Structure 1
Amino acid sequence: MTGATFLADLPRFVFFTGKGGVGKTSLACATAVRLAADGKRVLLASTDPASNVGQVFGVTIGNTIVPVPDVPGLFALEIDPQLAAEAYRAQAIDPVRDLLPAEEVAAMTEQLSGACTTEIASFSEFTSLLADDSLTAAYDHVLFDTAPTGHTIRLLRLPGEWTAYLSDGKGDVSCLGPVAGLDRLRHDYAGALDALTDPSRTRLVIVTRPQRSSLAEAARTYDELLELGMSDAHLVVNGRLPHDVGPDPLAAALEERERAALPDMAPRLRELPRTTIPLLPVNTVGVPALLALLDAAALAGGEQPAGEATVPRDFIGLRALVDDIEADGPGLVMCMGKGGVGKTTIAAAIALELAQRGHDVLLTTTDPAAHLAETVRADVERLTVSRIDPAEAITEYRERVMAGKGRSLDEAGRAVLAEDLKSPCTDEVAVFQQFSHVVFQSRRKFVVLDTAPTGHTLLLLDATGSYHREITRQMSEGARFTTPLMRLQDPHQTKVVLVTLPETTPVLEAEELQDDLARAGITPYAWVVNASLAAARPGSAFLRARAAAEHDSLARVAELCPRVAVVPLLASEPVGAAALSALTQQPARPRPSASLSDAGV
């Protein structure tokens, strides 16, 4: 634990937050294991809709608190959005099920089946951990492994938004459930807000990688959290390449990239207490690896990963994937996956290549934390770059509703409508409408969509499904219509590209996403394995050990999808049009069974 400044004088609540893929889950799990080893009773709660805490420990963790085997004193919880929503609906509907006509019960069920209900249900469980002492009294520390930045900022804003909304006496059944429950909600949300903004009770651990894009995102995160009143923050720079990795051009370039990025971090980040954690030669899965994350000496003399790093024979390059996408003509390409796997980079590279081939292309994003313009950094002919901005979408939606529905109301009615539109539930509806507009444009041009991290995207798809069910219910029998969901389900109109990393946890998460999409009637078109060391064929023994650890993950991806593109880990960050173009200038197919031994390293 030496040098881990974020663990000093640790308060009761600890939030691990930051850009996706920086190691929040690994660090949260490692901290939980270390505290438990020190004799503390610890509750580790994941608020990420795409949680993988259970995968890190190799056990099943669900929507109820369970002990973690082999770690005495450690308990874990993964807040499952769907289970939370089911329980929330039952709480709202069961008391009146036998008192109302069947059609009214059905209408209530439909009202409580949207993304808003899912978010509120999950959030209510989260706030109860902060506000209800009876739930956490048995624990010395409660650690929160949060969703990637954009979703987490949304989550942490909700206590203030809902506290203000409820304090004004608002709230309707479709969002919050029975009015009788509002007093409890008001109490919990106010208590959560107090806990979040009290530095003696809550600490923020902002996790980042030693890379410019990750550090820039960390600075933006810190600014937004400061606005929320959360001031006790520590910075953890995770995955710093060791200095003694041996002579290797790729290792030298990566080390130089990290060395140049750290001094350029925002001054406000430099002022924070900082912990630097070195990159390990193994994946941080299992208790031994988690212990080593905070004490690298624990791996000293241990066995390094054995075997040969290979790229499966049938994997193609990103250029070949664009060939396949182009052959089908205009449509929607959705790059999906967990935060931090490189969705923005892959989406930008695909869009840029299509535009350079003479096609009209719209590159856009639904990710609150995405910055496409910074990734492309150039004006490219035939390429339009945009962003579905939640704040702008909400403002436009409110103005449109007031101008339409509010036109026929009197002054008192307009005032009621205006207050109702302040509900945080409005956000998902507004973003969904913008998303639907993007889907509509894909009929005549290529639209490449960089989606938000998995959990947030699933909420958007939930809203898409709710809208489809409502339209289907309202249309007369035999009527012809097309909803956004129907376009997403049509492989000729929509190509879903799952982006992952060649590591155990990201592949498991992408597999779960594929299962979730299947339940919505959506089949992925392709997978992209990004930042592969096996494909890069490094010479350093340290990086070769990391590359060898990719073998099982790459083999599993080959089993999950017949069309897989692999992108090697690059010496420089793929930012700017030239660097992005380089991603699609790789050979159409890598050499069959390309291996480290074949490369003579």
Structure 2
Amino acid sequence: MSLPQVETRILFFTGKGGVGKTSLSCATGLALAEAGRRVLIVSTDPASNLDEVLGATLSQVPTAIPGAPGLFALNIDPEAAARDYRERMVGPYRGILPAAAIASMEEQFSGACTVEIAAFDEFAKLLGDPAATAEFDHVIFDTAPTGHTLRLLTLPSAWTEFIASSTGGASCLGPLAGLEKQKALYAATVAQLADPKATTLVLVSRPERSALREAERTRGELAELGVSNLRLALNGVFTAASPGDAIADAMTERGRDALATMPAGLASLPRSDTPFLPRGTVGLDALRAMGQAGAAHPPGFEPMPRIHLPGGLEALVAEIAASGHGVVMTMGKGGVGKTSVAAAIATALARLGHKVTLSTTDPAAHVQDAVEGKVAGLTVTRIDPEREVADYRDEVLAKAGGTLDMAGRAMLEEDLRSPCTEEIAVFRAFSRTVDEGRDRFVILDTAPTGHTILLLDAAEAYHREVLRTQAEMPEAVRSLLPRLRDRDFTKTIIVTLAEATPVHEAERLQDDLARAGITPFAWVINQSLLASGTRDPLLTQRGTYEVPFIERVAANPSSRTALIPWTA
């Protein structure tokens, strides 16, 4: 089957950015509506393109979708919800604390964890209150909460005075202080998620190793929480129409290899395979095509459109090399090719005669494999996030844990499992590697977000963090922050694909960095089929689909643009 089988009233679609959560959730909802059901689709994604996919202007109340009787949709705005939380936490202190302290507090509540918990509050009103969606046969949520958020909300200690006393410095936990009144609603929501008769959770992935690893990580987290009714939805499954096209053959083989090495936990789940669609998934006709058993190959080759394409990495590498030393950071969402771009830049600099260190913090990245053979002058290292987090956690628990009761310690331990904590711990390790950039090039695959940079740079924010955790800020971190803002020393490169979701998320990343005073040196559009030279009928159609996204990135006035073709 090409769409997930639906046997419950509630469905959640979750997966890493760009795998097709929105298109699959909409296609499933449309199929149910055309089978005579009343269906509500809800998006909690800050960068939601639900309006674009369904061809309707949506708000925070159910809106009927033109051309699809029985289908309704709404957009939850988690950013707006997060702003409300932020004001609820910070508002009482305005006019009392100095302006710098207020700004620092606002930054504490601007991270991903705050946005996610705020979004959870919004969709809990829909999921935990049966009356809110009583008129619908099915409710489909596009984007589900992470295991961290669910663990946080199921901890009994989340509702103790420990939270109320921690709001000054707990960037991940602070929002919960304002949610005591929501306790019963949250309990009902979490219970609904874990009820296999009520809820199905669909893990969306592409037939790619990185996406499958992310789906397996999510499966493990949810299994720990007792969420057992899981399904795997593979999106974008491609098979060449006929052998002989190098790009199409390589893409087919890559998908087969990824599925052959799929983690056992994922392989055991019920699975649907949705075929590769060349023209994107915008509009009801495209969504209906997703529900067909297989994608029809077009009758023949259509030449790619001729547009001016950005150049490759050569010009960027030459400009970087002219400085003689410094740091290059590749950033972007998972699956866009940060590791391969970082390795390509590092290799090119080394072959120009420079001393280069290539390092990564991505636990799933095989950065050494991305380097072809041994390259003189190139050293490959790895920052181990698990070890860094363990060291940081031990340090915090040793200094702060002894003064807490059992409930408070459990809460602190969960706080230390959050994405924000991992980023702060890894950021400290960055300082040791970046320091090498004084006399060589350091290429870092996966860099800290603007939120983390601001969090650690704000003296008042860090002071409260120290009071809460008793941790220490290494001097190397203090010297690192000005370097990240120095465009002569550090060059930040945003990596994306020529597709809607990766470009939208990359633009959000650029905004995040701008708050930290960082302007990207360049954008790199990776794996372009338009520039690949393929003559496969489906892939040439997809190449044409890339055009507006390439033009959008190239029009960015604040940075350079490079484009890398999809290669066999």
Scaled to the shorter chain, the TM-score interval is 0.7 to 0.9
Contact 2:423 2:452 in 1 (8 A): no
Match of 2:492 in 1: 496
Offset at 1:394? 4.3
Match of 2:357 in 1: 361
Match of 2:468 in 1: none
Match of 1:522 in 2: 518
* Correspondence 1:91 to 2:88: yes
Q: 1:373 to 1:516 in 2, by over 3 A?
A: same
Of 157, 160, 167, the residue aligned with 1:165 is 157
Match of 1:431 in 2: 423
**Structure 2 Cα separation of the partners of residues 237 and 247 of structure 1:** 25
Q: 1:439 to 1:412 in 2, by over 3 A?
A: closer
Q: 1:6 to 1:566 in 2, by over 3 A?
A: same
Letter in 2 for 1:27: L
Contact 1:402 1:414 in 2 (8 A): no
Match of 1:579 in 2: none
Match of 2:534 in 1: 538
**Structure 2 Cα separation of the partners of residues 436 and 68 of structure 1:** 49
The aligned runs of 1:125-524 (5 Å cut-off) are 125-146=122-143, 152-160=146-154, 163-166=155-158, 170-173=162-165, 174=167, 175=170, 181=178, 183-244=180-241, 247-295=244-292, 308-310=304-306, 312-313=308-309, 315-354=310-349, 357-365=353-361, 372=367, 382-387=378-383, 389=385, 392-403=387-398, 412=403, 418=409, 421-422=412-413, 424=415, 427=418, 428-429=420-421, 431-439=423-431, 441-445=433-437, 446-451=441-446, 460-470=449-459, 486-524=482-520
Contact 1:32 1:42 in 2 (8 A): yes
**Structure 2 Cα separation of the partners of residues 472 and 276 of structure 1:** 47
Match of 1:588 in 2: none
Letter in 1 for 2:181: R
Contact 1:14 1:203 in 2 (8 A): yes
Secondary structure of 2:234 counterpart: strand
**Structure 1 Cα separation of the partners of residues 455 and 70 of structure 2:** 42
**Structure 2 Cα separation of the partners of residues 112 and 516 of structure 1:** 14
Contact 1:355 1:383 in 2 (8 A): no
User: 1:389-447: per-residue Cα shift (whole Å, max 9, x none)?
Assistant: 2x5444433432455568xxxx6568797466335277424532531441564243234
Q: 1:4 to 1:558 in 2, by over 3 A?
A: closer
* Correspondence 1:102 to 2:96: yes
Q: Which runs of 5+ in 1 are unaligned?
A: 475-480, 572-601
Contact 2:45 2:78 in 1 (8 A): no
Aligned length: 539
Offset at 1:280? 1.6
Secondary structure of 2:233 counterpart: strand
Q: Which runs of 5+ in 2 are unaligned?
A: 464-476
Of 548, 554, 557, the residue aligned with 2:544 is 548
Contact 1:436 1:484 in 2 (8 A): no
Q: 1:328 to 1:33 in 2, by over 3 A?
A: farther
Letter in 2 for 1:422: E
Of 34, 49, 58, the residue aligned with 1:37 is 34
Letter in 2 for 1:248: D
Offset at 1:524? 1.6
Secondary structure of 1:442 counterpart: helix
Q: 1:560 to 1:421 in 2, by over 3 A?
A: same
Offset at 1:538? 0.9
Offset at 1:55? 3.9
Offset at 1:26? 1.7
Letter in 2 for 1:82: E
Offset at 1:532? 0.9
Secondary structure of 1:223 counterpart: helix
Secondary structure of 2:81 counterpart: helix
Contact 1:198 1:230 in 2 (8 A): yes
Contact 2:327 2:442 in 1 (8 A): yes
Contact 1:438 1:447 in 2 (8 A): no
Greater alpha carbon shift after TM alignment, 372-381 vs 463-472 = 372-381
Offset at 1:282? 0.9
Contact 2:207 2:255 in 1 (8 A): yes
Match of 1:577 in 2: none
Secondary structure of 1:103 counterpart: coil
Of 553, 560, 580, the residue aligned with 2:556 is 560
Q: 1:396 to 1:351 in 2, by over 3 A?
A: same
**Structure 1 Cα separation of the partners of residues 231 and 57 of structure 2:** 30
Offset at 1:87? 0.7
Offset at 1:503? 2.6
Q: 1:108 to 1:317 in 2, by over 3 A?
A: closer
Contact 1:239 1:279 in 2 (8 A): yes
- The sequence identity of aligned pairs, in percent, is 42
**Structure 1 Cα separation of the partners of residues 364 and 43 of structure 2:** 20
Q: 1:485 to 1:497 in 2, by over 3 A?
A: same
Offset at 1:251? 1.8
Contact 1:398 1:421 in 2 (8 A): no
Alpha-carbon RMSD = 3.9
The aligned runs of 1:112-127 (5 Å cut-off) are 113-114=107-108, 115=111, 117-127=114-124
The aligned runs of 1:572-591 (5 Å cut-off) are none
Greater alpha carbon shift after TM alignment, 31-40 vs 375-384 = 375-384
Contact 1:345 1:375 in 2 (8 A): yes
User: 1:5-46: per-residue Cα shift (whole Å, max 9, x none)?
Assistant: 62232x122222234332222212222233333343333333
Contact 2:90 2:106 in 1 (8 A): no
Q: Structure 1 length as normaliser, TM-score?
A: 0.76
Q: 1:394 to 1:421 in 2, by over 3 A?
A: farther
**Structure 2 Cα separation of the partners of residues 285 and 426 of structure 1:** 37
Q: Structure 2 length as normaliser, TM-score?
A: 0.80
Match of 1:8 in 2: 6
Offset at 1:305? 11
**Structure 1 Cα separation of the partners of residues 278 and 30 of structure 2:** 20
